[in-house]
Amino acid sequence: MRILVLGAGGVGGYFGGRLVEKGEDVTFLVREGRKKQLDKNGLVIKSVHGDITFEPKLVTTNDYDAEPFDLILFSTKAYHLHQAIEDVKPFVGEKTIVLPLLNGIAHIPLLKEAFGEEKVIGGLCFIETTLNAAGDVVQTSPAHRVVFGEFNQQKSDRIHQVAETLNGTKASFILSDYIEREMWHKYLFIATMSGMTTLMRAPVGPIRQSEGGRQFIINLFNEVAAIMKAYGAPLSESIVDDHMNTMEKMTYDMKSSMQRDMEKGSLIEADHLQGYLLRLADQYNVEVPILKAVYQHLKVYEFTQKGSALR
């Protein structure tokens, strides 16, 4: 399969790079600035699972003469989603499959509307990566996993072809029969973890071990889960307990990607993650005082960042 990876940042650069390492036909869709950097230095991945450097195949948004791709890994941040959809459209053909790796759920209807419901499959990833000052992809934790599958829970011929293409790399690509449930479970975890670490401006360890910290985490998990259950999301009965067990096992210094973005003064996905949940909470009359405090803190951060840019 011919694969197009949207972007060559921490997520797309890493998973696309592992597919290149395996020998798959991978092209990266990048902006001109990133292209110049990659043309000069190559795509460099520094990982606990092994380093690689290679010269990537690149296209930009100006390269409209490219043929459609078979599979597109949609690995943008939510605040770039609308522009990314427009950037990708010229590379989508009749049989193209779009595999999104964004956090949350709100992007799925937008992708289906833009590309056609039949083209979009479910997906998510677990990874801790960042780009360093040189533009290298730095991956620092054991987790480097993509989960994907058909929304209708069918084992289609195309999903088997996707699985065969993605398997066999140093990263884990896992085919799920229940991808919608997997996506909601991840959404519950990431909304809680990003919410608590940004609100407290601290990694998991200090929050977990502070007085009342564990109960605070459980309460936030329960608020988010209550919204999802009111909406009708397919959560397992034990998911809050399962996520708390995962939280207990995380390293003391583990940070959410949103916390790292805030520390760098970057854009964040507040509206896509916590904001979308609050809209559902209002719709279904679910009281979520902790989540409201989390979201207000994120909006204050966005306001101060915008104010700094205007000074």
Q: Which sequence positions are flagged as catalytic?
A: 186
Secondary structure (3-state) at 106: coil
Residue of 290, 34, 190, 195 lying closest to 43 (CA atoms): 34
Vertex 34: Cα angle to 133 and 253 (nearest 5): 35
Secondary structure (3-state) at 147: strand
DSSP letter for each residue of 63-74:
-TTSPPEEEEEE
CB atoms within 10 A of CB 4: 26
Q: What is d(CA 199, CA 34) in angstroms, rounded to the nearest whole number?
A: 32
Vertex 310: Cα angle to 304 and 311 (nearest 5): 90
Place of tokens 């896509």: 272
